[in-house]
Amino acid sequence: MLVAARRAKLEALRRELSMEPYGRRVDGLMTLADARAKFREEAHAAHEKDPSSDSRESAKVAGRVMQHRDLGKLVFLWLRDSSGDLQVSVSKSQVAPPVWELAKRLDYGDWVVAEGPVGRTQKGEVCIWARSVEIHAKSLSPPPEKFHGLHDPELRYRRRYVDMYANPETVRTFSLRSRIVSSVRRFMERSGFMEVETPMMQPVAGGAAARPFVTHHNALGIPLFLRVAPELYLKRLLVGGLPRVFEINRNFRNEGVDRSHNPEFTMMEAYEAFGDCWSMLELTESLVHELAREIAEAGASAGTSAGALGSAGAGANSGAGSKSTHLPFGELSIDYSRPFRRVRYGELFEQCFGFPMEDAAKVRAEAQRRHVPDAARKDHWLLVDHLFEEHAEKFVDKAKPTFITDYPAAISPLTRPNPASPHLAERWDLFIGGMEIGPAYTELNDPDVQLAKFTEQLAGIDDEAKTFRTVDEDFLEALRVGMPPAGGLGLGIDRLVMLLANQPSIRDVILFPLMRPQ
RNA sequence: GAUUGCGUAGCUCAGUCGGCAGAGCAGCGGACUUUUAAUCCGCAGGUCCUGGGUUCGAUUCCCAGCGCAAUCACCA
């Protein structure tokens, strides 16, 4: 019925005012922030003193009506665009009659173009004193509450387009995400990596143990999987001779949804020929540190998160000394200064349980004491991993980015073992704020070892997993052609944005998170 | 998938120990040439998530379902 009222207005605009409520191209627009910046107190004062002369600068702007106050012969409109808010004041005595009629009838949510000199009101509010006002899109949908905005998370995700205009911090978060992705890209390019795009629809889903989404290609009559990782294709590129490659794109995993998991999510994977997990550690540490510094500095210099956006990209390469690299994340203040903490898997394990992870008898006893299912029969290293993830991971200081290194080789089947201690793998995992941000590996490049590990892995899976987990023969063939030794990295971009933008849920950093259809 | 919580007007939220459903904002009509969540007068607005049960009577209690959230499980 609010919709009916708006439809009636729409028709009235056409019928009574001969105005078309859905407009066309408009040239010469400036942002509301730029229009506001055109205000000069001297020009305003001079015009107040002598209305016949006017040195105020004129501005033409477009925005969505956020407030509409009708005082009789004076109408105040608040417009919003992506740069901010600005008031447009419409005086009956200063505009043509149809413009005045329109101004009185505008609704919260309408898109409007206004033009006039930039001045201010008696109360000091900088505004455009309208000479003209045009409607360019009528909003037929009832708007959210103007003061509280849209709070209900379900509505915010389902109607993101409303969330975005009602809650400006939403737009700020996604602008920040865009900047972060852009910075990651520039950092990788500067470091000599080439960006590539590899298949998202794969005949064999490889590169991670996740359950894939299945689809079907009609013309070829074959099943296809949405990729769970780009890994096996990026490695083919190393075989082909590219020395450093990265890809920032979506992966799809057919698994649960929670605060840090969305079925489709963005990851950066990078591979460096003749590198190893330690060269990737250097790279990751300086990337994450630089991102955090950029954001901390932008925030500090602007004072507000809104300002941080305004100065986008500004302080990136300032090379400034020991500026604060703390960023808030919920209750935490995370310290991104270098170097990040490094702790060996085994050390953390021993610190937590009081005995080394190699002590098979104690591990089994501990597992039984803590009621790990199947503790009597399970493989030693699976028990270690279970205990570690349940208890030891919590020993990591959430406020300090931490690389956990030297994972047991037995739970890292596709990673090259450490030559000095073969029961350890050349692999690390970065944890920040209690979240796993990404792993890195020294990659296997011996095709025979790779095949053996694939086969071994496939032996242990259940029937359901067999439907989608098969050996990628073409990948093995590529390894036989010869892949240089390499370091590989996977970085969860959504989670990184959560941390840097201080958003507790992955749904707040994905524009359209998956929701059950209604 | 499990457990717990929530679901009331377009929005933000009250409320009913089981007895005719409430406010603010938004909307509609009116007043107002300097508002800042404008103000003032008046009006209208509901499948109390859905279905079943108990009851003289259910938005309220019970059961089931749906949606969302949190926690857990799954997630090299």
Please report which confidence band the pLDDT of residue A350 belongs to, taking 50, 70 and 90 as the band edges: very high
- What pLDDT is recorded for position A315? 36
Bases in strand B with any atom closer than 7 Å to a protein CB: 1, 10-13, 24-28, 31-39, 45, 66-76
Please report which confidence band the pLDDT of residue A319 belongs to, taking 50, 70 and 90 as the band edges: very low
Q: Is the CB of A290 under 7 A from strand B?
A: no
Name residues 71-90 of chain A with a Cβ under 7 Å from nucleic strand B.
Answer: 71-74, 76, 87, 89
**Average pLDDT, stretch A162-177?**
93
Q: Is the CB of A218 under 7 A from strand B?
A: no
Please report which confidence band the pLDDT of residue A308 belongs to, taking 50, 70 and 90 as the band edges: very low
- What pLDDT is recorded for position A165? 93
Q: Residues A115-134: pLDDT tens digits?
A: 999 999 999 999 999 999 99
Please report which confidence band the pLDDT of residue A301 belongs to, taking 50, 70 and 90 as the band edges: low
- What pLDDT is recorded for position A302? 59
- What pLDDT is recorded for position A194? 98
Name residues 400-429 of chain A with a Cβ under 7 Å from nucleic strand B.
Answer: 411-414
Q: Is the CB of A7 under 7 A from strand B?
A: no
Please report which confidence band the pLDDT of residue A454 belongs to, taking 50, 70 and 90 as the band edges: confident
**Is the sign of the CA dihedral A440, A446, A447, A451 positive or negative?**
negative
- What pLDDT is recorded for position A320? 45
Alpha-carbon span A93 to A95, nearest angstrom: 6
Instruction: Express as a percent the part of chain A with pLDDT over 70.
Output: 95
Query: Given a cut of 50, is residue A358 above it in pLDDT?
Result: yes
Q: Is the CB of A107 under 7 A from strand B?
A: yes
**Is the sign of the CA dihedral A105, A107, A111, A112 positive or negative?**
positive
How many other CB atoms are found less than 10 A from the CB of residue A199?
Answer: 13
Q: Is the CB of A142 under 7 A from strand B?
A: yes
Q: Is the CB of A150 under 7 A from strand B?
A: yes
**Is the sign of the CA dihedral A414, A201, A517, A64 positive or negative?**
positive
Q: Residues A66-118: pLDDT tens digits?
A: 999 999 999 999 999 999 999 999 999 999 999 999 999 999 999 999 999 99
Which nt sits closest to A73, CA to C1'? B33
Query: Given a cut of 60, is residue A310 above it in pLDDT?
Result: no
Q: Which of A354, A338, A345 is nearest to A381 (CA)?
A: A345
| A105 CA from B22 C1′ (Å) | 30
- What pLDDT is recorded for position A370? 81
- What pLDDT is recorded for position A312? 35
Query: Given a cut of 70, is residue A322 above it in pLDDT?
Result: no
Q: Is the CB of A450 under 7 A from strand B?
A: no
- What pLDDT is recorded for position A255? 86
**Average pLDDT, stretch A218-231?**
94
**Token pair belonging to A92:** 């009956």
| A137 CA from B29 C1′ (Å) | 26
Question: For A32-147, where are the E strands, in sequence order?
Answer: 58-70, 74-81, 84-91, 111-120, 126-129, 132-137
Provide CB contacts within 8 A for A412, sequence distance 6+: A425, A427, A441
Please report which confidence band the pLDDT of residue A298 belongs to, taking 50, 70 and 90 as the band edges: confident
Q: Is the CB of A143 under 7 A from strand B?
A: yes
Alpha-carbon span A474 to A263, nearest angstrom: 27
Residue A239 three-state SS: helix
Alpha-carbon span A384 to A366, nearest angstrom: 10
**A207 conformational bin, left if phi > 0, alpha if psi -120 to 50, beta if neither:** left
Alpha-carbon span A509 to A181, nearest angstrom: 12
More confident residue, A232 or A518: A232
More confident residue, A84 or A1: A84
Query: Given a cut of 70, is residue A309 above it in pLDDT?
Result: no
Q: Residues A131-157: pLDDT tens digits?
A: 999 999 999 998 999 988 899 999 999
**Average pLDDT, stretch A348-356?**
91
- What pLDDT is recorded for position A256? 84
Please report which confidence band the pLDDT of residue A425 belongs to, taking 50, 70 and 90 as the band edges: very high
Q: Is the CB of A371 under 7 A from strand B?
A: no
Provide CB contacts within 8 A for A318, sequence distance 6+: A297
Which nt sits closest to A229, CA to C1'? B76
- What pLDDT is recorded for position A172? 92
- What pLDDT is recorded for position A171? 93
Please report which confidence band the pLDDT of residue A323 belongs to, taking 50, 70 and 90 as the band edges: low
**Token pair belonging to A298:** 């932008």
Query: Given a cut of 60, is residue A316 above it in pLDDT?
Result: no
- What pLDDT is recorded for position A314? 35
Query: Given a cut of 60, is residue A56 above it in pLDDT?
Result: yes
**Is the sign of the CA dihedral A129, A130, A136, A138 positive or negative?**
positive
Query: Given a cut of 90, is residue A456 above it in pLDDT?
Result: no
